[in-house]
Amino acid sequence: MPTLLQGRGIGGIVSWFIRIVIYDICVTTIQEVLGVGRMTALFIFLGILLALSIGGWMLRRRMSRPADSDI
């Protein structure tokens, strides 16, 4: 089973740090705008990500049913 950075070298490490910075900016923005603690902002951010992923999953299921019925 490959690890997160296996075979990616420096590019994988840079990509990982860019993601961390983006997530930190999002959490910090939520924290400042809503005036909540950092942990609360993190849970709000995770909730938003969860809602988006469930919405995408539902849209994918809805759009794939017509394609399956044509087969």
Over the stretch 10-61, which tens digit does the pLDDT of each residue have? 888 888 899 999 999 999 999 999 999 999 999 999 999 999 999 999 999 8
Q: What pTM was estimated for this model as a whole?
A: 0.69
In angstroms, rounded to a whole number, what is the distance separating the alpha carbons of residues 42 and 47? 9
Q: Give yes or no for a contact between 29 and 11, defined as CB atoms under 8 angstroms apart.
A: no
- pLDDT at residue 71 in the model: 56
- pLDDT surpassing 80 at residue 2: no
- pLDDT at residue 66 in the model: 66
Can you give the residue ranges of every domain in the chain? 9-69
**Chain centroid offset of residue 50 CA:** 8
- pLDDT surpassing 80 at residue 63: yes
